[in-house]
Amino acid sequence: MKTEIAGKTAETKSQSKSQIDRPENLGKPQMKWGSDVVAEVTRRLDLKYIALVPGASYRGFHDSIVNYLGNENPQMVICLHEEHAVSIADGYGKVTEEPMAVALHANVGLMHASMPIFNAWCDRTPMVIFGATGPVDAHRRRPWIDWIHTSKDQASIIRDYTKWDDQPASPQAAVESVLRANQIARSAPYGPVYICLDAGLQEAPLTEGVAIPDAARFAPPPPPAAPRESVLKVLDAIDKAKFPIILMGRVSRKQADWDRRVRFAEAIGAAVLTSSNDPSAFPTTHPLHFAAPCLRPSKAATALIEKADLVLSLDWLDLAGVFRLSLGTAQTQVPADKTVIHCSVDSIRTNGWSMDHQALAAVDIPIFAEPDQFVAQMLDEIEVKKTPVVKSRPEMKSLTHWNAGTGKSSANPGQPMSLWDMAMTMREFTKNRSVTFARLPIGWPGEAYEFDGPLSFMGNDGGGAVGTGPGHTIGAALALKDKGRLTIGVLGDGDYLMGVNALWTASRMEIPVMIVVADNRSYYNDEMHQERVAQARNRPVQNRWIGQRIDDPRVDLVAMARAQGFESEDPVSTTEALANALKKGAEVVAKGGRYFIDSVITPGYADSGPDQRSGG
């Protein structure tokens, strides 16, 4: 272990990034303060960005990032709301499967950030969050302000939906804290972690040597694999099955893993379903992907599940819920009459506060392994060790594929468009383009999900968190900045308006991105809920819009985007105008710009019934 002493010179890894916000006259910065130590360790973790809203509680740490690290590795991503700082980190983490750092001011910044932290927890996104409090030593607090911004056990606000938290009491303890935070955030199942930095510790001069060990020795372990015995057991069950189906749930963003999942499904001739809640997991137009992706099983997906005699869940979010829809009862009470295999490591991350672990499924072969590891093991068994497995499935021959005959807009030229028409226009636009949908809105039809790679779609807000869409989109676009892809966030108008001032960060950071709003001028999801309640109570359904519409006065969505540095033109309300705007937007973004489209649609979802389509 190497011992560093106070006065160490900051290591500067030169990077050819944009030169914005470069501090001047740094000379050779020396590690002299408590917060310099935290910055020094953070630098070694390869955290490229730190999204933040500033605050005096971490002014010491802020100074260390600017004047000790030179605002590089991590580089500051300035945001207009703590919610956006976390949502941007979430969007970034979904793409990269690597944490972005976040810095939040005291208890107030943390409270602002709590909702998207919950969302990142539900998304299983790695994230290293720095917060601050104090000075913990009351004698060093400034009158009034330091007292209101000091809380005892500040992390308790978010402990129920973070993987770990700490408040180190010395620079040396902070070294360990940051290394551990990084390790935990990056270990599957991923999630946010929180380190609360005492303002006193940050601002105190170093008085003794601090040991900063090699961060490589504190790397997370590789994700767990399954015992061979279980692999063989699963293969045997698949071999005996007549109609196996794979529920491709929360899997990795790596192309090699994607390719293996395709080879695996083909090798065992299994039908495949994917969820529109999760990032793209399997080519949606593949011949084995019979039913269109859906949030909760659609009629077609339910029919497939009913047919199946073997269900292999690769960390499917709501396995028991799937059976509930297809069997009409909670799977816990009446277990499905099928062989159920569930591969997941999620069980080690559950707690008693959040029910996001979902209902308990009855499982015949539980596999505690990271799904892509397991798929690789299964493939190895089939392809290398030549363990025989049936792959021809006569029962599947008669099935029709969801993609046969769908995929067209039904709007007449010049007529107002529906969400379906808008979705089909966007589907057409994405053909032969490398597009990443950072988000898609509630009610978006599964038939528009034409995904061909692990970066086609980043999934929705795992926590059902309205207002995260803009931040997620910008975080994803930042991660994909130089990757030659067009990042598009398609958002509801309610989601857009709640998170709208996240857009400024995209302009500030020169992030190429397109945002398209499905503008029904309503919190339409909840109109559906009010309709359902009115129906159940035999009350007037026509009042469902009250307390839901966002149209009087009409908000100028375009002006809000333009005001923050996006290019945009007047709202579009026909499929032809939308198609033209998309083309224009793609040109702007290809040149490194930002483009906004207000796509006005008639209220309504693509197929209906709040149970199938709506969120909470």
Q: Which of 413, 444, 443, 450 is nearest to 428 (CA)?
A: 450
466 binds ligand TPP (CB under 6 A): yes
- To ligand TPP, the closest distance from the beta carbon of 151 in angstroms equals 23
Nearer to ligand TPP, 524 or 595 (CB): 524
Q: Which of 424, 384, 489, 362 is nearest to 95 (CA)?
A: 489
Nearer to ligand TPP, 492 or 571 (CB): 492
Q: Considering only 279-287, 477-485, 490-498, 532-540, which stretch makes contact with ligand TPP by CB under 6 A?
A: 490-498
Among 74, 495, 514, 568, binds ligand TPP (CB under 6 A): 495
Q: Are 94 and 279 in contact (CB under 8 A)?
A: yes
- To Mg ion, the closest distance from the beta carbon of 113 in angstroms equals 25
Q: Are 375 and 264 in contact (CB under 8 A)?
A: yes
Helices within 97-141 (DSSP H only): 106-123
Nearer to ligand TPP, 87 or 150 (CB): 87
Among 55, 492, 499, 615, binds Mg ion (CB under 5 A): 492
Cα–Cα distance, 287 to 283 (Å, whole number): 9
Angle between helices 299-307 and 319-327 (to 10 degrees): 90
Q: Are 184 and 164 in contact (CB under 8 A)?
A: yes
Q: Considering only 52-60, 66-74, 523-531, 552-560, which stretch makes contact with Mg ion by CB under 5 A?
A: 523-531
Nearer to Mg ion, 492 or 512 (CB): 492
Cα–Cα distance, 387 to 381 (Å, whole number): 6
524 binds Mg ion (CB under 5 A): yes
372 binds ligand TPP (CB under 6 A): no
Cα–Cα distance, 193 to 208 (Å, whole number): 28
Nearer to ligand TPP, 166 or 527 (CB): 527
192 binds Mg ion (CB under 5 A): no
Nearer to ligand TPP, 131 or 467 (CB): 467
Q: What is the DSSP string of 555-571?
A: P-HHHHHHTTT-EE-S-
Residue 29 one-letter amino acid: P
Q: Considering only 68-76, 92-100, 361-369, 520-528, which stretch makes contact with ligand TPP by CB under 6 A?
A: 520-528
Distances (CA, A) of 365 to 224, 226, 319, 362, 555: 16, 11, 14, 9, 53
442 binds ligand TPP (CB under 6 A): yes
493 binds Mg ion (CB under 5 A): yes
Determine how β-strand 30-31 pairs with β-strand 8-9: antiparallel
571 binds ligand TPP (CB under 6 A): no
State the binding partner of 525 from ligand TPP, Mg ion, none, CB within 5 to 8 A by kind.
ligand TPP
Nearer to ligand TPP, 220 or 603 (CB): 603
Helices within 314-463 (DSSP H only): 319-327, 371-379, 419-430
Q: Are 151 and 133 in contact (CB under 8 A)?
A: yes
Q: Considering only 15-23, 239-247, 424-432, 513-521, which stretch makes contact with Mg ion by CB under 5 A?
A: 513-521
Rg of the chain in Å (alpha carbons): 25
Q: Are 359 and 331 in contact (CB under 8 A)?
A: yes
**Facing residues of 492 across strands?**
518
523 binds ligand TPP (CB under 6 A): yes
520 binds ligand TPP (CB under 6 A): yes
Burial 439-456 (b: 16+ CB within 10 A, else e): bbbbbbbbbbbbbbebbb
Tokens representing residue 345 in the block: 């490591």
- To ligand TPP, the closest distance from the beta carbon of 53 in angstroms equals 19
Using CB positions, name the residue nearest to ligand TPP: 492
598 binds ligand TPP (CB under 6 A): no
Among 58, 161, 316, 524, binds ligand TPP (CB under 6 A): 524
Residue 405 one-letter amino acid: G
φ, ψ for residue 49, nearest 5 deg = -130, 155
Q: Considering only 13-21, 217-225, 492-500, 585-593, which stretch makes contact with ligand TPP by CB under 6 A?
A: 492-500
Angle at 259 between CA 452 and CA 254, to 5 degrees: 80
Among 90, 166, 493, 598, binds ligand TPP (CB under 6 A): 493
Angle at 472 between CA 470 and CA 473, to 5 degrees: 65
Nearer to ligand TPP, 226 or 490 (CB): 490
Nearer to ligand TPP, 293 or 615 (CB): 615
Q: Considering only 26-34, 290-298, 325-333, 486-494, which stretch makes contact with ligand TPP by CB under 6 A?
A: 486-494
- To ligand TPP, the closest distance from the beta carbon of 520 in angstroms equals 5
φ, ψ for residue 549, nearest 5 deg = -75, 145
Number of residues interacting with ligand TPP: please give it, by CB under 6 A: 19
Among 75, 522, 530, 564, binds ligand TPP (CB under 6 A): 522
Determine how β-strand 127-133 pairs with β-strand 365-367: unpaired
Among 34, 116, 441, 585, binds ligand TPP (CB under 6 A): 441
State the binding partner of 443 from Mg ion, ligand TPP, none, CB within 5 to 8 A by kind.
ligand TPP
366 binds ligand TPP (CB under 6 A): no
Among 453, 464, 565, 604, binds ligand TPP (CB under 6 A): 464
Among 88, 295, 312, 465, binds ligand TPP (CB under 6 A): 465
Cα–Cα distance, 568 to 147 (Å, whole number): 45
526 binds ligand TPP (CB under 6 A): yes
Cα–Cα distance, 435 to 453 (Å, whole number): 10
Cα–Cα distance, 516 to 519 (Å, whole number): 9
Nearer to ligand TPP, 371 or 463 (CB): 463
444 binds ligand TPP (CB under 6 A): no
* Residue with tokens 């359902």, as numbered in its chain: 532
State the binding partner of 454 from Mg ion, ligand TPP, none, CB within 5 to 8 A by kind.
none
Burial 40-69 (b: 16+ CB within 10 A, else e): bbbbbbebbbbbbbebebbbbbbbbbbbbb
Q: Which of 366, 359, 376 is nearest to 339 (CA)?
A: 366
Nearer to ligand TPP, 344 or 548 (CB): 548
Nearer to ligand TPP, 191 or 492 (CB): 492
- DSSP structural state of residue 278: S
Nearer to ligand TPP, 127 or 557 (CB): 557
443 binds ligand TPP (CB under 6 A): yes
The residues that touch ligand TPP, with contacts defined as CB under 6 A, are 441-443, 464-467, 492-495, 520, 522-526, 615-616
The residues that touch Mg ion, with contacts defined as CB under 5 A, are 492-494, 520, 522, 524
